[in-house]
Amino acid sequence: MSVQRILFVDDDPDLLGLMPQQLGPEWSSETASSGEEGLLKSQQAGAFPVVVSDLDMQPGMNGIAFLQRLAEQSPETVGVILTGRATVANVIEALNDGHIFRFLTKPVTTEDLRRTVLAARRHHEMITAERDLLEKTLTRCIEALTEVLSLANPAAFARAYRIRHYVRHIVSRLELMPPWMFEVAALTSQIGCVTLPPDLLEKLQGEESLTDEEQRHLGATAEIGAEILARIPRLERVAQIVRRQAQVLAEPFPSDRARLDPESMGALVLCLAGAIDRLAHRGHSNRTLVEALRQHRPAFPEFLLETVSDMPAGVPCGIREEVRKITVAEMKISMVLDEDVRTSTGALLVQRGQEVTEVLIRRFRTFAQGVGIAQPFGVRVRVTEQAAGSAADELALPRGWTRQV
C-alpha cells in the first residue's frame, strides 16, 4: 500500500509529537501548531488526503473554522476533529458543518485513531474516484456525444468548442470549482440548438437582427438542452447552468460575486463566452474586445470583464500559428478549420473553428466521394519558430486550442 500523507494540527506540542507515532508506516505525518500554519502547509506542500485538527486552539481560529477554510482551499481533504472538551453543542456544530468526517475525544487510543484515519482515507479515495468519474469518464462521454451531434448541426457545435475555450480561461482566472462542471456546461450549451436551422445561427453570429419569432426559438434552446441533460445522472447542476443562460440574459447581472450561486455563475460565464465568440466572429481583437463587451446590455459585472483583458491567444511560447490550404486527404486530427467548409453544391458542411476529429475526417471523406467538397480549404496548424515551414516540425493544434480572431 502506498504511503499516505496526513496533517495533525494542534496547539499542544507534546500531542503533536505523540500522535504521528501512533500510526503505522503507511502514513507520512506532518504537523502544524495552528490553523493558520495548517492552511499555509496545505497550500505550499499540496492538499493532504486527511487532516486531524484540535477543536480548541488558542489563539486564532478553532478547528471547525480551520477545516471550513481548508475545504475552500482543498475540497477533497477529509477532516477529523479532535478535542478534550467535547460537548453536545460542539458535536452538533462540527457534524452539521459538513466539512467534518469524524469527531474524536481526547485522550484518543491508538486503535481509535488508526481506525478513524483509515476510514478517512477510504472516504478520500471514494471522493477522488468520484472526481475521476466526473472529470474524465463523464467528460469524455460528453465530448463523444457532442462530436456525434456536431454532424447534425456543425455550426452549433463548432461554436460549443469555441465557447469551451473561453470558459476554460474565465474559470481558471476566477478559480471556480469544480472546473469540469463549467467545461461540460460549455460543451453542452448548444445542445438545444439542434432544433434550429443553420441559417439562424449564422444570423446570430453576424450583425443581422433577429425577428421576435427567431428570438423565441433561440430562447427555447436553453430549456430544451437542460431537459436533455437533466436525464443524465450527475449532470443535474450542469443542466441548471444551461437552463439559466436565458434567465440571466433577461435581467441585469449582479455586480456582487458573492450573490451568485454556482449555477448562476456558470450561466453568466456561458453568456460572457458566447458574447466573446460573437464579437470575435465579427472581427474584434483582444484590444477591442473588452470595450465592445462594455456595450453589452445587460452589462457584464466588472469582475468578469477583468478576466477577458488577458485572454490568451492560445499559441505556446516558441510556437507560431500558420494557416494552410489542404485537401480532405491531408486532414489531421486536432487541426482547426480556419474557414467554413461547404459541399460542391454550396451547402454548409462544417463551420470554421471546428476541431478536426477522426469522426469529422470520415465524414469529409464520405462527402468527398459523394456530392463532393469544395477544396482546398483553410486549416490552422502550429509550427516551431526554429523550423517554421518544415513539414517535419509541423504540429497539429493541441486539443481545445483555438485562435483569438
Tell me, what's the pLDDT at 21?
Answer: 85
Same domain, 167 and 268: yes
Residue-wise pLDDT tens digits, 329-355: 999 887 888 888 999 998 888 877 777
| pLDDT number for residue 375 | 92
Task: Give the pLDDT score at 404.
Answer: 34
The enclosing domain of 120 has a CATH number of 3.40.50.2300
Last residue of a domain, one of 305, 333, 352: 305
Spans of the chain, pLDDT less than 50: 314-319, 384-405
Q: Which domain holds residue 46?
A: 4-127
In this structure, the answer to whether residues 283 and 326 fall within a common structural domain is no
The reply to whether 232 and 279 lie within a common domain is: yes
pLDDT digits (tens, 9 = 90+) for 267-276: 999 989 988 8
Q: What is the pLDDT of residue 377?
A: 93
What grid cell was written down for 235? 449532470
User: DSSP alpha helices (H): ranges in 230-293?
Assistant: 236-249, 262-281, 286-293
Between CA 116 and CA 119 the distance in angstroms is: 5
Whether residue 174 sits in one domain with residue 297: yes
Cell numbers describing residue 285: 481583437
Would you state the cell numbers that stand for residue 328, as one nine-digit string? Answer: 480532405
pLDDT for position 127: 84
237 with 301, same domain? yes
pLDDT at 192: 82
The amino acid at residue 309 is S
Backbone angles phi, psi at 30, to 5 degrees: -130, 160
State the total domains in the chain.
3
**What is the secondary structure of 68-79 as a DSSP string?**
HHHHHH-TTPEE
Helix (H) or strand (E) holding 37: helix 35-45
Q: Are residues 283 and 193 in the same domain?
A: yes
pLDDT at 399: 38
d(CA 203, CA 193): 13
The whole-model pTM stands at 0.58
81 pairs with which residues across the strands?
A: 53, 103
Alpha carbons 342 and 396: distance in angstroms, whole number: 22
Output the pLDDT for position 312.
61
